[in-house]
């Protein structure tokens, strides 16, 4: 198949290209050339910005387009309209963040999504990211209808992850004698290996699938304890894991998700379904998951190749962690 990938050089886009190459598809990349410009030099690359020069895509035809980096509905609308007569299937990579609330366990694809009062807003932050993604979805669906495939991933993890939200835990366990861990050890978490997601997206494209899908794993329930114990086993470290209460973290002003990746307070009702999205529709349509050991091992191996002075974009630094562990001792004494 002939595929146009908008983006294609960062994390999920990169993994999609790798998978499409394995399958022998003919790939064209359309991006600005800012991120990882040296990779995929063997492919057809059309350099441009869809906000300003979509005309660079003139005189081409593709079986499918995969839009990996659409965040603003105005701009997604531009590419969707432009490509209507040039592509068969429009695949839009959205997010589980579109859902209006996450208090319910087992949220399915028909759960209400967020809407902004003013969809002309283009500032992307924690409050607007999900509603803007939902608005992007609507633009694609309005134009392509049954020729649209909307993928809503959960936390995407694995090698080449630029966010460090998952990698933080591999690095912490690998390089610390003691690691502060948030909340209940048996608290459920969800994520999906970028390679599993990419492989499934290509298979869905090959059979011309349409509709909306939650794309999240793993294939079985995984707890935070499972994750950290597997990290420790993989690294052969014997690192001490110290579990601290949510109340303590809130008291200390620790920001969920960013300062403490893979944690949102369970005590807040609106978070009850945050790590319990329903993925049955996707798994019925062929989404599969590798063992978390493989994801952790490969992520850890990749992380060790980065410069020694790399600073994680997520998580607390070692000094802050050490200070919190000291405070935790006093906190327990009351």
In a structure prediction context, what are the per-residue pLDDT tens digits for the chain, which is 334 residues long? 999 999 999 999 999 999 999 999 999 999 999 999 889 999 999 999 999 999 999 999 999 999 999 999 999 999 999 999 999 999 999 999 999 999 999 999 999 999 998 878 999 999 999 999 999 999 999 999 999 999 999 999 999 999 999 999 999 999 899 999 999 999 999 999 999 999 999 999 999 999 999 999 999 999 999 999 999 999 777 899 999 999 999 999 999 999 999 999 998 888 899 999 999 999 999 999 999 999 999 999 999 999 988 999 999 999 999 999 999 999 998 7
How many Å apart are CA 31 and CA 302, to the nearest integer?
25
Domain range summary for the chain, segments of one domain joined by +: 2-153, 167-190+219-274+291-333
Three-state SS at 127: coil
Q: Which tens digits make up the pLDDT trace of 133-167? A: 999 999 999 999 999 999 999 999 999 999 999 99
Handedness of CA 139, 142, 147, 150 (dihedral sign): positive
Rounded to 5 degrees, φ, ψ at 37 are -65, -15
Q: How many CA atoms lie within 13 A of 205 on its CB side?
A: 31
pTM for this structure?
Answer: 0.96
Rounded to 5 degrees, φ, ψ at 283 are -70, -35
Rg (CA), the chain: 21
β 44-47/26-31 pair status: parallel
Spatial contact of 124 and 95, defined as CB atoms under 8 Å apart: no
| pLDDT score, position 120 | 87
Three-state SS at 317: coil
Q: Indicate the CATH number of 167-190+219-274+291-333 among 3.40.50.720, 3.20.20.10, 3.90.25.10, 3.20.20.410.
A: 3.90.25.10
| pLDDT score, position 267 | 85
Q: Which tens digits make up the pLDDT trace of 207-223? A: 999 999 999 999 999 99
How many Å apart are CA 17 and CA 211, to the nearest integer?
22
Q: Tell me, yes or no, if the two domains 2-153 and 167-190+219-274+291-333 fold the same way.
A: no
How many Å apart are CA 105 and CA 113, to the nearest integer?
15
**Which class is domain 2-153?**
alpha beta
| pLDDT score, position 333 | 84
């Amino acid at each position: 198949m002939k595929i146009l990938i908008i983006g294609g050089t960062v994390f999920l886009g990169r993994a999609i290209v790798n998978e499409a190459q394995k399958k022998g598809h003919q790939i064209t990349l359309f991006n600005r050339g800012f991120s990882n410009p040296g990779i995929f030099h063997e492919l057809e690359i059309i350099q441009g910005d869809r906000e300003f020069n979509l005309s660079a895509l003139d005189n081409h035809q593709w079986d499918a387009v995969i839009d990996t980096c659409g965040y603003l509905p105005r701009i997604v609308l531009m590419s969707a309209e432009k490509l209507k007569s040039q592509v068969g299937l429009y695949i839009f990579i959205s997010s589980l963040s579109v859902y209006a609330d996450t208090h319910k366990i087992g949220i399915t694809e028909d759960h209400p999504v967020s809407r902004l009062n003013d969809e002309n807003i283009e500032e992307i932050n924690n409050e607007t990211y999900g509603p803007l993604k939902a608005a992007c979805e609507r633009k694609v669906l309005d134009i392509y209808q049954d020729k649209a495939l909307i993928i809503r991933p959960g936390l995407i993890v694995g090698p080449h992850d630029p966010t460090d939200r998952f990698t933080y835990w591999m690095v912490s366990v690998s390089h610390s004698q003691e690691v502060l861990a948030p909340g209940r050890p048996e608290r459920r978490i969800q994520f999906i290996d970028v390679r599993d997601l990419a492989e499934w997206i290509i298979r869905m494209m090959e059979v011309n699938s349409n509709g909306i899908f939650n794309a999240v794993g793993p294939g079985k329930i995984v707890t935070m304890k499972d994750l950290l114990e597997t990290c420790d086993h993989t690294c052969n470290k014997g690192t001490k894991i110290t579990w601290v209460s949510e109340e303590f973290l809130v008291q200390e002003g620790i920001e969920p998700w960013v300062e403490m990746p893979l944690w949102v307070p369970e005590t807040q009702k609106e978070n009850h379904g945050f790590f319990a999205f329903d993925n049955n529709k996707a798994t019925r349509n062929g989404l599969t998951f590798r063992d978390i050991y493989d994801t952790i091992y490969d992520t850890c191996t990749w992380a060790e190749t980065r410069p020694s002075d790399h600073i994680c974009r997520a998580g607390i630094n070692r000094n802050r962690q050490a200070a919190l562990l000291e405070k935790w001792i006093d906190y327990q004494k009351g």
